[in-house]
Amino acid sequence: MLAKRIIPCLDVKEGRVVKGTHFLDLRDAGDPVELAKLYNRDGADELVFLDITASPEGRGTLSRLVRSVATELDIPFTVGGGIRTQEDVRDVLRNGADKTSLNTAAVEHPELITEISDVFGAQCTVVAIDARRRFEEREDRITVQTPQGPCWFEVYTYGGRKATGMDALEWAARAEELGAGELLVTSMDRDGTKRGFDNLLYGAMSRIVGVPVVASGGAGEPRHFLEAFTEGKADAALAASVFHYGNYPVPVVKEYLRSQGVEVRK
């Protein structure tokens, strides 16, 4: 049986790993190469590297740093942030990435998803979606009931700076149709809060799409990962600060999941 995946995420700014809350108030979390080594050794199932300065400031991804990180890994490696063209994808793959994640560029040019998927394969084409709850009822949006009332999920681009008005659930389905092989979905409401994943978002998404969904945003303790898999029906759960600051290392989270009957890689 397929194991559930635990994925540490390196948000990289100016060569350092940083972590914020609700995408703001960034603080330093260490050296990307050192953290990559640690997670590889600790039994992480994959690693995600997001160049979070790339999109807003229009810079390319940091090829050399990507290469240094990739050299340390013998697990799958996804690189995102500022990827806008086929050439950008080729560059990160040449430097050791296995998958690339598209976010802002995919929203602005959805045909890019198909292009990348056709050239490099769906297995390499991750669409990252940053979503935030909007508490209003609209007939033209997929609405979810929450304890705080009905809401839909709005897509944000440019590292959470720009609201698009798009429905994240509809966008997820469309991204799959266009050729995405996986969706990395971050809840901006939960990002950095350690309150747990937004499982209403992932649960709704799992009913709509057929490709694997990676839940991201809000992990604070091992129980949250369990909930992402049971309530959120996610295929993988991604986290940053809970791993970076050593609160719950990857082996501790995996041991807990195993004790709860979740299949994870040893």
Partner 1 sequence: MTSVAVLDYGVGNLFSMSNALRRAGLEVKVTGDPEEIGSADAIVLPGVGNFGPASVKLLPFAEPIRRALEEDVPMLGSCLGMQLLFERSEESPEVGLGLLKGWVRRFQGEFKVPHMGWNTIEAARESPLLEGIPDGEYFYFVHSYYPEPAEGDVTLALTDYGGGFTSIVESGPLYGTQFHPEKSGRAGAMLLSNFAGIVRGRRG
Residues that bind partner 1 (CB under 8 A): 1-3, 5, 40, 43, 45, 70-71, 73-77, 93-98, 120-124, 181-182, 210-212, 235-236, 265-266
Mention every residue, 6+ apart, whose C-beta is less than 8 A from residue 13: 26, 51, 52, 53
CA distances (Å), 69 to each of 37, 48, 89, in order?
8, 10, 17
What sign results for the dihedral spanned by CA atoms 252, 258, 264, 266? positive
Nearer to partner 1, 166 or 236 (CB): 236
Please state whether 173 falls in left (phi above 0), alpha (psi between -120 and 50) or beta: alpha
Nearer to partner 1, 212 or 249 (CB): 212
Nearer to partner 1, 138 or 265 (CB): 265
Nearer to partner 1, 123 or 259 (CB): 123
Closest distance to partner 1 from the beta carbon of 40 (Å): 8
CA distance 81 to 265: 28
Do 21 and 192 meet the contact criterion of CB atoms below 8 Å apart? yes
Closest distance to partner 1 from the beta carbon of 209 (Å): 10
Nearest to 227 by CA among 191, 262, 178: 262
235 is catalytic: no
Q: Which of 91, 130, 167, 191 is catalytic?
A: 130
Closest distance to partner 1 from the beta carbon of 170 (Å): 20
Nearer to partner 1, 56 or 212 (CB): 212
Do 134 and 154 meet the contact criterion of CB atoms below 8 Å apart? yes
Do 241 and 37 meet the contact criterion of CB atoms below 8 Å apart? no
Nearest to 101 by CA among 43, 53, 45, 51: 51
Tokens 């995420």 belong to residue: 9
Nearer to partner 1, 3 or 33 (CB): 3
Closest distance to partner 1 from the beta carbon of 77 (Å): 8
CA distance 250 to 32: 16
Closest distance to partner 1 from the beta carbon of 177 (Å): 15
198 is catalytic: no
Closest distance to partner 1 from the beta carbon of 124 (Å): 7
What sign results for the dihedral spanned by CA atoms 8, 9, 15, 16? negative
* Residues involved in catalysis: 11, 130
